A and B are shown apart, each in its own frame.
Chain A
């Protein structure tokens, strides 16, 4: 074998994790092979309805990424395929792949759908969780990528019985090939990322859930489909047994999770509490009179913004939360509808019986047997719960070098955490192939922009059905017919999903064939979809600013669903306004910027150091700023991780690596005092002691951390044997001999968290308490330990620690926020009184020590936020660009975030996010240059009165006074800094400012067209 490093990465699994990793790598100079088991990529996220907390439709925020993967020239999709074996080692693996026959020539298929229409064979629709039927020749869903049909060979009449052949006769493209064969082949790649995802727990055969024969008991993933407008009942929630509208719905939590009796899933699936709350809220939004009840053991809303959502569910939406695992669900006898649920009211101790129209089983995540087998074949170790085994300090590396992991296979997790790990895995997989970077990739040659100057406006209007999201309310055909009557409109079409890959190809074709020079898409929100269509314009040789998006969904069909005629009229008005505007459009130019190849990392804790090292290892120079005199941050005072690694040991190693790296320049005891510039060209002044130093950098990563809350409650600071979790860790580190003599220890959870003044959950305290309690039990197995808690939130496989703690005799007592433990000190020492949640009696504990699981508090660093123009949320954490899909990026280009400054998280998640932030930074740095936006403000210096309002009002420092030359003292706009917000334009009293793409004439034309 040659020693050449191959510049390609194989990604196994095309869910959101795999997609994110693929895009990161393909945009950083690596060729990506994406092996997907089904006929198209998208994974479970493509099946979800709306996503928390933005209430964006899951598919809508995902489809631009699907299309980007689909048309990326450095991502090769291998669908209907699985990997069978891997030989070789990091840098050069040989991967055996088995690919099932598709029976469709993908080059010929035009995805017209004629085959499906005529196919006589109906089969269960897997995308819709088998709730309805599809045909044996199919695409999984309309926005699928690749948008190519496939034949389900097990069900096709022709392939099983030799008869039929209808699709072959019907296909106008001659794409059907019944003689297609399954294939085995091998591909070489330098590294591998496993992102095969999870399967949901199957409650079939369990008498307690009555799932088998009862259509009104559904799994949560089935319920997602029922909620979805593209689902079996078009988003109208009904009881499947008789299609009646439900009045009461119950969710049962922990079905197939935290259960070692009826199944073997001891772990917590991490996501079910939050999705159940989300589903209940959406169901309530569909039908405000609906009664929603969630039966739970512990509510685990430990993610960013989750607790707030939980509180809203209770207070604003009136969703009922009942703490009881339900023994059984069963239908009522005879013809009576509804499922009976009995539960015990925890306060009264009485058994209550109630009936529900629909019962949703909140099914957990598990790893499918074939992935377990593959892991065995590949020599990858798994955990107790059959997830991929990783180390807290290298959370995306499997036990086989060169093979990485992300997403649910690494452990149960939600979308943001999967996306974070995808970034981390991409960084790791790419870093080891640094010398192979750009060796296998092709550069996309953009078509030369057509010069349209002097052309008469020729407008193309594309109107979207958005499945039924728009067309169920708005008469799309009518809007189209109307558009045809408008001046300059040369072409009108309507599409089922305008964002799908085939529509993009079609728009490109039409622009060229009809010589269109202005495009309007009447569909959804430009926030999510404008870049997608602009890219399509570029592909068609058109300036991307000759485009206007009309939002007839969010502003039309969704808000006016009860007034279809008026909504249709409004859509027409909006289209007419857009036409009036676009005819006045002119091509805009974007400035090209060099990107400074140096980085700045702020914060020298584990997160900052990991990010700095990740960049330094790739050859980028990094300045690392730490406010304290030493590196290490909170980790200096932490004992062991949830996986048992000794933190000090790993921390020292990391500090050494950082200090000895020739690419990292460490500033301890330092702070930033000035930041100027913008993406690619920052200029920052660092104050270290009395010395000021200016550094230039192209990107910045914020990893400023958070600190432990110093409690004011529970006698903290007033009695020496009351201390915080970190203070207890310090005693563990120093091996304080006094601990061995402790006979009784008490922990109180949620100290300073989940309180009105600090409503979020600090995420790590429950796990930390388990680790500490177990360590105390190790020091003295006879120690009495009590944990007083509100909900135990040992999410994922951390649940095993909770189990171990109970096993070893730790007693857990649940209290509510309005009845907290009371602490007194008497001659015997501490006495803690709490009401036992089961016995409803006071329990008085004589304790030697009391450890408070204290909140994690953000620094609320407004100065830093101001420096980089990045937002803080209400709680004082930095606010990322997109909660789900861009959790380590800021909306401001060139600035990234990770670690506790984003949200409380354990070390493994901090490390993953640091690498994800580094990956995003790498993607940007690797481009060397970037374009700014074209829709920027422009000064007409002749009209400028040099009043300075624009200079003072701009939040981005874009306007300034020209200091010399022609028109000195007049305002000018730095187009690189301008974000196109228009604040200066609106405030200019001389009318000297214009915003390109939003000129006065364009806006006035729109307004006059509505006033006609």
Chain B
């Protein structure tokens, strides 16, 4: 057998020691029982002949050279499902994150690197590089169009840089740049509940690819910019449109980098649920009583397992059941805190390992197929895109939709041009008069 590992009378291995110093409490890396709980529950197990346990073992045995530049670090989506079951609560994703740093910055995946650098180009933080004024123009342009073309919405607002607004809303770049009509349902919802909200020009872009790049300095820079922007506008609550990693990057970034703020950093879904409970958002599922279209929901790892936990998972189900009808909701198995990552997280959508990403997603595809649902509600942009692609790749015939689309549908306020992700079965349902 070749490729023996030599240990004993030699230098202490450096990467392990380094990581132990960086991660809180050394991240318990030493405590590994090599039990395999992590790998048995990880969708990335087997990709590049690697799995979480093996990765940690290689690090423990000092195989730094083999770890360095290993592509698997970009296939692990940092979903933390391994930590969830690990009897020793070992932070393997934290280790993977540090291992990403072993790649020279310019050798890291182009897609992630480009998106990070793009966000640093101007004050907008948009990973697509859209400048502040361009964003403002698009918002106003779309708003005017709605006011003119959709009866009843003459007073709709989409404020930008409104001083003293209660909610600060950051916006994923995908909508303003590639599908601007997709912004409108959320505006309408905010209008109906009478929310006092605002976008900003500075730091409006919610996404944070520098986090995926393991570029701490710029993760912090982007998170701080958007939080500062919200602070400067005097807002109380920091919201992001339905996007998992955005919310996480700000929520975690604030903690990790000790960014000072009084803002509540909250996921959008929590407020949907609150408004429905308060009667401000009078949704119902009558539209689905006869057609019985089935829905399932993807719990975004970044928002459920990694941050807001069970209360948010409960809120998410409450909202979905309220709008589609309890009988038309089918949960995936497993779900909530123990849900599988779809494979779109951790920058995977931009890392260039497409084949592996589809392989990663095979469990998610199976889970969805097993529910029999035609629609997967994905309150996260990366989940949305990955599940959309999984459906096409596997010919799964299911649709991936944001929650705002279905809420608006239920409220009879979803215009024809806001239905890009609905299938033929819903494209004409509950159209506004």
Please name 15 further chain A to chain B contacts, defined as beta carbons within 8 Å, in addition to the given A210-B334, A344-B45, sorted by A numbering: A261-B88, A262-B87, A325-B36, A326-B40, A328-B338, A332-B370, A333-B371, A342-B40, A349-B51, A744-B8, A786-B7, A833-B4, A839-B5, A843-B4, A846-B10
Given contacts A207-B338, A334-B370, A744-B8, contact A841 B1 (CB under 8 A): yes
Chain A proximity of B16: nearest CB distance (Å): 9
B53–A838 contact, CB under 8 A? yes
Given contacts A333-B333, A334-B370, A784-B7, contact A208 B36 (CB under 8 A): no
A325–B31 contact, CB under 8 A? no
Contacts of A843 in B (CB 8 A): 4-7, 61
A808 lies within 8 A of chain B by Cβ: yes
Contacts of B54 in A (CB 8 A): 349, 838-839
Listed A/B pairs (24) with beta-carbon separation below 8 Å: A207-B334, A261-B89, A324-B35, A324-B37, A325-B40, A330-B334, A331-B333, A332-B370, A333-B370, A349-B54, A350-B46, A351-B46, A743-B8, A744-B9, A786-B8, A807-B31, A809-B30, A836-B5, A841-B3, A842-B5, A844-B5, A844-B6, A847-B8, A848-B9
Contacts of B333 in A (CB 8 A): 330-333
A1 lies within 8 A of chain B by Cβ: no
Partner-contacting stretch, out of A20-28, A252-260, A859-867:
A252-260
A323 lies within 8 A of chain B by Cβ: yes
B270 lies within 8 A of chain A by Cβ: no
A297 lies within 8 A of chain B by Cβ: yes
Given contacts A809-B30, A839-B54, contact A327 B5 (CB under 8 A): no
Complex CA gap A811/B7 in Å reads 11
**Interface positions of B from 72 to 110, Cβ below 8 Å from A:** 81-89
**Interface hub of A327, A808, A847 (most chain B Cβ within 10 A):** A327
B84–A838 contact, CB under 8 A? no
B357 lies within 8 A of chain A by Cβ: no
The 0/1 profile, CB within 8 Å of A marked 1, for residues 3-26 of chain B is: 111111110100000000000000
B45–A351 contact, CB under 8 A? yes
A208–B338 contact, CB under 8 A? yes
Task: Say which residue of B6, B58, B61, B88 sits within 8 Å of A846 (CB atoms).
Answer: B6
Top 5 A-B residue pairs of the complex, sorted by shortest distance between their CB atoms? A327-B41, A333-B370, A846-B8, A325-B35, A261-B89
A324–B32 contact, CB under 8 A? no
Q: Smallest CB-CB separation from B84: which chain A residue?
A: A208
Interface size of A in residues (CB-CB distance below 8 Å): 55
Complex CA gap A148/B296 in Å reads 54
Contacts of A844 in B (CB 8 A): 4-8
A812–B34 contact, CB under 8 A? yes
Contacts of A782 in B (CB 8 A): 12
Complex CA gap A260/B89 in Å reads 7
A845–B31 contact, CB under 8 A? no
Chain B proximity of A579: nearest CB distance (Å): 61
Contacts of B88 in A (CB 8 A): 260-261
A342–B4 contact, CB under 8 A? no
User: A-B pairs with CB below 8 Å: how many?
Assistant: 151
A185 lies within 8 A of chain B by Cβ: no
**Interface positions of A from 333 to 384, Cβ below 8 Å from B:** 333-334, 342-344, 346, 349-351
Given contacts A207-B336, A331-B333, A351-B45, contact A845 B40 (CB under 8 A): no
Chain A proximity of B156: nearest CB distance (Å): 41
Interface size of B in residues (CB-CB distance below 8 Å): 53
A837 lies within 8 A of chain B by Cβ: yes
A334–B6 contact, CB under 8 A? no
Contacts of A333 in B (CB 8 A): 333, 367, 370-371
Complex CA gap A133/B160 in Å reads 64
**Interface hub of B8, B42, B45, B336 (most chain A Cβ within 10 A):** B8
A828 lies within 8 A of chain B by Cβ: yes
Chain A proximity of B305: nearest CB distance (Å): 10
Given contacts A323-B36, A327-B40, A841-B1, contact A811 B8 (CB under 8 A): no
A806 lies within 8 A of chain B by Cβ: yes
Q: Smallest CB-CB separation from B335: which chain A residue?
A: A207
A803 lies within 8 A of chain B by Cβ: yes
**Interface positions of A from 768 to 821, Cβ below 8 Å from B:** 782, 784, 786, 803, 806-809, 811-812, 814
Contacts of A330 in B (CB 8 A): 333-334
Q: Smallest CB-CB separation from B89: which chain A residue?
A: A261
Complex CA gap A842/B32 in Å reads 20
Complex CA gap A841/B333 in Å reads 36
